[in-house]
Amino acid sequence: MIKTTIHLMLLAFLIASCSGSGTESEKMADSSVKTMVKPFSDSLKADTFQVRRSSNAAKETELLFTIRSHEGKEIYREEIKADDLFKNYDATIDLKKKKNQVKFLNEELSRFFDEENLMEPAITEQEQPDQYVPDRQFYEELKASQLNGFIYRLGKENKVYIGWSAKAQKVKIYYHCCKQ
């Protein structure tokens, strides 16, 4: 009986010591991949959007954003360096400490697929192109197709709007505000 009690106490101690609050690397790994499935390159068939953290060291991290078509083919890939994101927020958030960097990256990941980032459709009938439209022909194609668009941030005031070009058979930027 005493042996069993000692073994149970030892087991409880081991479990408690292993399930502590964890290191910063472990915390980053907790939510290192986010996925969303929505129509994008086709109005009826869903594509898979994924953002993944490529490293557990905050300063070396890249957020890898990919879109796979409903056929399983990768149609978009963007690597966003954490350092570049940090530079855009240094003035408003204290990102000198690794703990704050980890928290910031976790927040970026958790917000990446917020509903407001999916534009249904990408461009409405009433919208008109302005100086932030890099390709007016594609803008008009996307407007006519009524396909969805997606927005992601490269910084505080730097947003990229992307959509599917059926003519070019690839994802293209239809709006980019406000490049830094």
- Residue 90: strand pairing partners: none
For 50-86, how does the pLDDT look when each residue is reduced to its tens digit (9 = 90+)? 999 877 555 578 899 999 999 999 999 999 988 888 8
In whole angstroms, give the CA distance from residue 93 to residue 90: 5
In whole angstroms, give the CA distance from residue 113 to residue 23: 26
Q: Is the pTM of this model over 0.85?
A: no
